[in-house]
């Protein structure tokens, strides 16, 4: 996807917070803004599933779960095994 440049003006304390948040979550301020706007777009389009999938915390959780399954720390169970 082609990218462009957007200049925005924010309060200094909000800029500082965004930078700290980005560093702590190993992302960029640009990605935070991208995700926020994508979430707005998905809400407007009434597609809540996309909001969940686009959420960084969901992606982290999904990758963590996949890692645990691959390492053998967790195993898949059938519906009947779980809900007997």
Report pLDDT for 32: 92
From CA 4, how far away is CA 24, in angstroms rounded?
A: 25
Residue 71: domain span:
12-82
Report pLDDT for 63: 84
pTM score, whole prediction: 0.50
Does residue 1 fall inside a structural domain?
no
How many domains would you assign to the chain? 1
Does residue 35 fall inside a structural domain?
yes
Report pLDDT for 22: 92
Mean pLDDT (10-residue bins), the chain, 84 residues: 88 94 91 88 66 76 84 82 83
Report pLDDT for 48: 60
Report pLDDT for 50: 61
Report pLDDT for 18: 94
Q: What angle do CA 36, 50, 7 make, to 5 degrees?
A: 25
């Amino acid at each position: 996807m082609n990218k462009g440049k957007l200049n925005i003006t924010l309060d200094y304390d909000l800029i500082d917070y965004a930078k700290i948040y980005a560093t702590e979550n190993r992302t960029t301020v640009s990605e935070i803004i991208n995700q926020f706007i994508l979430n707005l777009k998905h809400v407007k389009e009434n597609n809540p599933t996309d909001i969940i999938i686009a959420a960084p915390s969901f992606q982290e959780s999904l990758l963590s779960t996949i890692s645990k399954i691959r390492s053998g720390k967790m195993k898949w169970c059938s519906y009947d095994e779980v809900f007997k």
